[in-house]
Amino acid sequence: MKTKIEFRGVSKSYGEVQVLHDLNFSIEENEFFVLFGPAGAGKTTIMKLIAGLEFVSSGTILIDGKDATAIAPEKRKIRMAFENFTLYPHLTVFENLASPLRNNKYSKQEIKNRVQKTAQMLEIDPYLNRLPKQLSGGQKQRVSLGRALVMESGVYLLDEPLAHLDAKLRSELRSEFQNLKTSLRNSTVVYVTHDYTEAMSLGDRVCVIEDKKIVQIDTPQSIYNNPRNVSVARMFGQPEINILPMETDLHKKTVFNQLFEIPLAGTPLEAHLDLYGKPSVIFGCRPRDWEFSLEHGYFQDGFVQGEVVGFEIKNFRGIILSRLENGQYISVSCDEYSPVAPGSRIYLKPNPAAGYLFDADTEQNVSLGREM
Ligand SMILES: Nc1ncnc2c1ncn2[C@@H]1O[C@H](COP(=O)(O)OP(=O)(O)OP(=O)(O)O)[C@@H](O)[C@H]1O
């Protein structure tokens, strides 16, 4: 079953309050499409519009080229799983999975086959005879998801299916979702998350939504390499990108503040700086793209000093948080596992070739075009 969904100039208001503004995008047949953005951005509202649980205030949604307003929700062949889905406590896992099929008058044999297939896909087949209370949190979550996936469908709408799980379970299920993606390759999946690692690892394309609007739609790698603005750059990356307001020296080809100067001559940013041409700019550089030393004299020039204020280990890498004399915080990631003591002096130097320039007024990326 193949389904394509198109939004053309779609806006949505609840009473006086607009929550989506002029959305234009397409979700392709068989695509795993991730809606990503902060809380309240309008992600769930988009899902409800696709499902037919809400109606557009203006614009059109096309499902396989047909105006969706003419298609009743039950005719849309869409299956949904929202974050707070529940299981029937008195029914076994098998019966919980079978109930949507029974409601849709599937034959006994077909129910058996589809429940088995779904349970295998989600690796819950050993628990088919158990009651929900005999399952772990992650297993319950998978059964809930199974209830959405057990019915054949052109579109699956999955709204934060990994929400409310602890970090370890989330990461386990995230890798299982990779397999699930393969099993669902004949369907269109729209997946909502506000977790950037989920968006990065699952999406064929990611649609970043912020403040009622689409900010960027692209492959996860392209968004990471070429974030459209400061806000997307901050959302895509953990630890977050360092953002420094700087002045420009167009003759020397540098950006600078009262503490240090970053030379851009000979880097891909040089041409972008020339084109930009304004006196103030925002320089962005991810934590992994900084060098650091705890020894004075290690760098000859182009470094800034700070004080270490924190150290943590995340994803097998150390992260040093430091504060510069002007109060600005800088995170750098490092291979070392040995903590750096708070209060230590630290000398930091960004790799300008890996940096970004953002317009000081609009915060738009003025250094797009990076290939990595
Ligand atoms: N039925 C409603 N009536 C009025 N306002 C609503 C209604 N449903 C949602 N909203 C508002 O619309 C905005 C978008 O909500 P939505 O649930 O789509 O966001 P979201 O991106 O899914 O957020 P979250 O990640 O927190 O679930 C929010 O400001 C919300 O308060």
* Percent of the chain whose predicted confidence (pLDDT) is above 90: 62
CA of residue 99 to ligand 1 center, whole Å: 30
Compute φ and ψ for 5, nearest 5 degrees.
-120, 130
Nearest CA to ligand 1 atom 28: 40
Nearest CA to ligand 1 atom 7: 14
Q: What pLDDT sits at residue 136?
A: 85
Report ipTM (2 d.p.).
0.92
Q: Residues lining ligand 1, CB < 6 A?
A: 14, 19, 37, 39-45, 194
Helix axes 93-103, 137-149, angle to 10 degrees: 20
Tens digit of each residue's pLDDT (9 = 90 or more) over 99-125: 989 988 899 999 999 999 889 888 889
H/E run at residue 96? helix 93-103
Q: What pLDDT sits at residue 137?
A: 79
Nearest CA to ligand 1 atom 9: 45
CB–CB of 285/348 below 8 Å? no
Q: What pLDDT sits at residue 83?
A: 59
Q: Is residue 193's pLDDT more than 70?
A: yes
Q: What pLDDT sits at residue 77?
A: 79
Q: For the whole model, what pTM was predicted?
A: 0.88
Residues 6 or more apart whose CB falls under 8 angstroms from that of 197 comprise: 171, 174, 238
Tens digit of each residue's pLDDT (9 = 90 or more) over 278-310: 999 999 999 999 999 999 988 888 899 999 999
CB–CB of 128/95 below 8 Å? no
Determine the Cα–Cα distance for residues 203 and 189; give it in Å rounded to an integer.
9
Give residue 238's pLDDT band: very low, low, confident or very high (50, 70, 90): confident
Nearest CA to ligand 1 atom 8: 45
Question: Which of 330, 188, 307, 311 lies closest to 257, judged by CA?
Answer: 330
Q: What pLDDT sits at residue 251?
A: 95
Eight-class DSSP state of 303: -
Buried b (16+ CB within 10 A) or exposed e, 128-147: beebbeebeebbbbbbbbbb
The preferred substitution site among 19, 56, 84 for testing ligand 1, maximizing ligand atoms within 8 Å of CB, is 19
Give residue 33's pLDDT band: very low, low, confident or very high (50, 70, 90): very high
Alpha helices in 122-193, H assignment, sequence order? 137-149, 167-183
